[in-house]
Amino acid sequence: MKEYKISSFADLVRALRENPEGLEELRRILLTQELLELPKRFEEFRHRVEERLEAVEKRVEAIEKEVQELKEKVGVIEKKLDKDVCSLKGMWLEMKVRKNVPSFFSEYLLNAKAAGQDKISKALSLAVEKGIISKEERKDVFRLDLIVEGTLLSTEEPVLVAVEVSYTIDKPDVQRAVKRAEILKKAMDKKVLPAVVGYRIAEGTEKLITKKGCLKVLVVE
């Protein structure tokens, strides 16, 4: 090994740079074993932290996925409940209308009452026999929620009213009422008006009600 004359700190630094073995020996003398192993331990610690963070991230992703699936299921349940509740409210409203026809149609009719089913059935059957309406049209009229008879306040003429009852009145309700009123008019040879009854009206339906000359009864919940 080359000998060095050390007379200053600069000489020592130069000698250590030229002899890495000496530098390593000096480190072992000056530093404790724990300090020497610190970089290795730190690397091991960093690796363990990264593994744990990765595991946590995967778990968080799994939880987020489960939460999203739960939200979707809750959304489906809410929609089904809303539909079922609306259906039940619609059925309940139909029962209320049947029990108190004069009150519900007092804005339009005098002496309003539920039309006799026997009279309507006989008239429809006779219309089928005469070829005025088809069997399918007869069946369609029977799907009406209610048929009301009375006297129009505006003209004092006798009239039948083909009624569709729904929690939310929408365009299909109006269209069914109009279609079935037209069939009933052909069969009965009498003035027949369509009508819709409900708690609220779906967006865009009001114009169709007016256009088709459909009677409208809104009920306060």
Residue-wise DSSP of 158-194: EEEEEEEE-SEE-HHHHHHHHHHHHHHHHHHTS-EEE
Alpha helices by DSSP H, listed for 100-134, are 101-104, 117-129
User: Can you give the pLDDT at residue 78?
Assistant: 62
Q: Residue 172 has which token pair? A: 């299909």
Cα–Cα separations (whole angstroms), residue 180 to 39, 132, 162, 195: 88, 14, 7, 10
- Helix/strand number for the chain, H first, E second: 8, 7
User: Can you give the pLDDT at residue 57?
Assistant: 86
Over the chain (221 residues), the average pLDDT of each successive run of 10 is 68 71 68 67 83 86 83 71 65 86 94 92 94 95 94 93 93 96 92 94 94 92 66
Distance CA 57, CA 51 (A): 10
User: Can you give the pLDDT at residue 29?
Assistant: 65
Residue 90 parent element (H or E) = helix 33-99
- Domains of the chain, start order: 9-82 (no CATH), 100-218 (3.40.1350)
Those residues with Cβ within 8 angstroms of residue 89's Cβ, 6 or more apart along the chain or in another chain: 167, 199
User: Can you give the pLDDT at residue 186?
Assistant: 93
Percent of all residues in the chain with a pLDDT value above 70, rounded to a whole number: 81
Query: Residues 48-73: pLDDT tens digits?
Result: 888 888 888 888 888 888 888 888 77
C-beta of residue 138 within 8 angstroms of C-beta of residue 127 = yes
Residue 221 parent element (H or E) = none
